[in-house]
Structure 1
């Protein structure tokens, strides 16, 4: 039986030191770290490696559940995977220990709150964008396709969408979208 730690921050400019120290103090034999968003499981290679590696009787330790997942679906999927393998989950800053009934219940409640926090953040972001758009400040992303060049290639050079796409290095569907907007 080994104790493994998992530390995660969302952006590359954030620091893992505090989590790493807490996991070492919790007696983790191995600590896996990554700088990735927790809103999706996809692309979190260190977590995937750790989940594949864990064996029956092992313990996975995180500082807080939101380091593991930001949605209840993802947290439930990870929890099921750990439970199926006979692995216990503990959090150093929260009373979570899936080896006990109370710990399991608290684990599920914290998962709901982590997802709630993510949804609130998304709502605030959308409100801010709507306000910026109304004030004329937010214009969105600049177009990555030169629509005038697409039209010129069609009208002046007589090229079809497939040839335009090849020449400009675009997907054919993008060319069609520009031409339909015309």
Structure 2
């Protein structure tokens, strides 16, 4: 089992989290500082693409996974699809077993109370989509990264070409 630590560097407290994750036995620790105008997490998405069955994503606090319960649920879904699990250091939570079911139920309850737009990105500009395409990112991946549908990506690309 591979333990992968992840921390989003948003506040001074987060800087010490990398040391904590190493002390928790993480084989790999990745940190990122997202751009101030977005909550996109390229490093987190690459971890979720890489993580394998029986591996574990380790974080110090749930807030590192995103600004809303919906974002955290999305990460949990992707981990489950890959056969991996989540471990949160503070408060101590695990996505496996009965505690995992309780965690998911609590997050779903909170997500149901959030406004529909909570945690959603702004509408991406056509130029932003075009830049990702030029960087070699495919339309499906662009849609996933930007939190929009594939059709939106295709429409914006078509508009730029016209």
* Over 2 Å off, 4+ runs: 14-17, 37-42, 106-116
Tell me if the contact between 2:69 and 2:107 (Cα under 8 Å) persists in the aligned partners.
Answer: no
Cα displacement (A) at 1:33: 0.3
Tell me if the contact between 1:61 and 1:92 (Cα under 8 Å) persists in the aligned partners.
Answer: yes
Q: Report the counterpart of residue 57 of structure 2 in structure 1.
A: 60
Cα displacement (A) at 1:113: 6.3
Give the TM-score of the pair, scaled to structure 2: 0.60
Tell me if the contact between 1:71 and 1:111 (Cα under 8 Å) persists in the aligned partners.
Answer: no
Unaligned runs of 5+ in 1: 123-182
Give the TM-score of the pair, scaled to structure 1: 0.54
CA distance in 2, matches of 1:62, 1:38: 21
Q: Report the counterpart of residue 6 of structure 1 in structure 2.
A: 6
Unaligned runs of 5+ in 2: 119-162
Tell me if the contact between 1:34 and 1:46 (Cα under 8 Å) persists in the aligned partners.
Answer: yes
CA 1:16/1:102 → structure 2, altered by over 3 Å: closer, same or farther?
A: closer
- Which of 48, 63, 81 is residue 51 of structure 1 equivalent to? 48
After superposition, the CA RMSD in angstroms is: 3.1
Name the larger-Rg structure: 1
Residue 104 in structure 1 maps to residue 101 in structure 2: yes
Q: Report the counterpart of residue 77 of structure 2 in structure 1.
A: 80
Q: Report the counterpart of residue 17 of structure 1 in structure 2.
A: 15
- Alignment length, in residue pairs? 116
Q: Report the counterpart of residue 34 of structure 1 in structure 2.
A: 32
Cα displacement (A) at 1:38: 9.6
Residue 91 in structure 1 maps to residue 72 in structure 2: no
